[in-house]
Amino acid sequence: MTTAPNKRLGWSGITALAILILTLLAVAAPRLIAPGDPLAIHPADALQPPSPAHLFGTDESGRDLFTRVVHGAAASLGIGLAATAIGVGIGAILGFIAGLGPRLLDSALGRVFEVLFALPTLVMALLFIAVIGGGPAASTLAIGIATIPGYARMLRARVRGIAHSDYVEWARLDGASPCACSPGTSLPTRCGRSCRQRHSGWAKRSCGCRRSVSWGSAHCRHRRSGARC
């Protein structure tokens, strides 16, 4: 006799669901959670530890860190999602070209990926921002371009393996050309798994403009201030 699976969330599931709901609420309506002004400066309250009045403390300018975190959710998650879309889109194209293309093209793209992998991702993003300037758009492009080699190399390796699998060979034996069978067999198999394997924690590396609020800007300013709880 088989028992029905337990569908209760448990404390961990309830906690994760509550965090997800609060995050979505912070993105959609941040003033419902933190009605204050994230850019308001209060020099007298600079570098305050966490307290009932300031849940996360204050930075060197006296700005409430909790308010800045809540109001920065939309910008930070937007940058992360857009950068991930850029990296996945271009990386998937290059990965499929390298995995299904001729050996010479695969070798050339492989050398390019290795050179880009030798440079730290954060350094590449900062160099890109230094060349084209700051701002959310530049940060999104810099982070997205810096992640392209990772997606491309991962998809290239998997496409190479899938391209020589049995069901692809059977599709070719049935008369399907490589261009016809590859998108219909390899792409659906890999895209979902690849998107789940890569994170979106790029928002903390973004460098927005001075009048914008994001998780990265609030975190960096708090670290530079050297505040102690």
Structure tokens belonging to residue 58: 């204050």
Angle at 11 (CA atoms; ends 7, 16), nearest 5 degrees: 90
In 3D space, the residue among 219, 188, 216, 190 whose CA is nearest the CA of residue 202 turns out to be 216
In angstroms, what CA-CA distances link 131 with 79, 115, 124, 143, 227? 19, 20, 11, 14, 32
In angstroms, what CA-CA distances link 201 with 36, 147, 152, 170? 26, 12, 19, 40
Inform me whether the pLDDT recorded for 106 exceeds 50: yes
- CB of 90 closer than 8 Å to CB of 104: no
Q: What pTM, to 2 d.p., does this model score?
A: 0.65
Computed from CA positions of residues 170, 175, 179, 181, in that sequence, does the dihedral angle turn out positive or negative? Answer: negative
pLDDT digits (tens, 9 = 90+) for 35-89: 888 888 888 888 888 988 888 888 888 898 988 989 988 888 888 899 999 999 9
Q: Round to whole Å and give the CA distance between 159 and 182.
A: 9
pLDDT digits (tens, 9 = 90+) for 136-171: 888 788 888 888 888 998 888 888 887 777 766 776
Length of the chain in terms of residues written = 229
Structure tokens belonging to residue 21: 């709901």
